[in-house]
A = this chain, B = another copy of it.
């Protein structure tokens, strides 16, 4: 049996590299040596500029000139550039610390000049995990920093910007940050659905009933769904927080879209609950089936054994070596012994049958 436990998680619950008691805002250099890549998109309804940048200082020339400047950093390896960006946008040390320690729960916080949003990108390969996307949303910029991952969740948004799909080029930085968040949440859908597909492949072996490791597989699915649930739930809190009256960065125009993201989260949570219910049903079915079969085996074998025990006893009696045993010399003795044995066996079977032990 394969062990249905996510050892990955066991080894690295928190991405902490600073000792306990460090000054808040202390940000240790991440172990992973993925060099940060920086990508910049600047746009307005009519303008569009996209470029890869090497030095954070290049950002300044776009900031005032376009309605929205989106700086995206992929990978946490280049702390020098990150530090420079943090200084440029005057980030609070706690924000900077959270960006560099990518084990934060999804959340939305307002600081004076910007909002700080954390979402988690789900991925199935090489094993179920989530990666942090941090966003700093100012009046005319979005700074997004992504924990290195092989899967690009944000390319669809770039495409919409390039091709001017929908309203995104007309809208401000708050809408852009919503669009990024929405894209991240959208990518939970195929992940959750894949668990349905995996459950679907289990129903035939389950009905056949002989697969030993089906329970660990179901349990692994149920446990993974719970992990997704635990990661997803804070997104809903964050979204509702952003929609609330006390969170001022998101305009009414964008709030309507946040309500849609809220819907998506609820739908995902509903589907996760439904799948977990199916896991639980499958487990119950498996145990009902195997217990029924075990009963069948035990009952059959016990009945066979029990019927033969008195017969063997009779044979044993007639095998005793007494000099003078009645019947042994009788002409029909042997036939009588068989008659007795057959009667006893038949009587026992009839009695068992009457008591209903052969049914069900």
Contacts and interface: CB of A to CB of B under 8 A. Distances in A.
B21 A157 contact: yes
A356 B210 contact: yes
A183 B13 CA distance: 19
B337 A193 contact: no
Interface in A277-294: 277-278, 281-282, 284-285, 288-289, 292-294
Interface stretch (A64-72, A82-90, A135-143, A295-303): A295-303
A226 interface: yes
Nearest to A9: B274
A251 interface: no
A113 interface: no
Given A270-B230, A305-B309, A21 B155 contact: yes
A259 B109 contact: yes
Interface residues of A, number: 132
A273 B5 contact: no
Contact of A285 (B1, B19, B273): B1
B203 A285 contact: no
A230 B277 CA distance: 11
Interface of A: 1, 3-7, 9-11, 13-14, 16, 19-26, 92-94, 97-98, 103-105, 107, 109, 111, 153-157, 160, 165-168, 179, 182-183, 186-187, 189-190, 192-193, 196-197, 199-200, 203, 206-207, 209-212, 215-216, 219, 223, 226-227, 230, 256-257, 259-260, 263, 266-267, 270-271, 273-275, 277-278, 281-282, 284-285, 288-289, 292-299, 301-306, 308-313, 315-329, 331, 333-334, 337, 355-357, 359-360
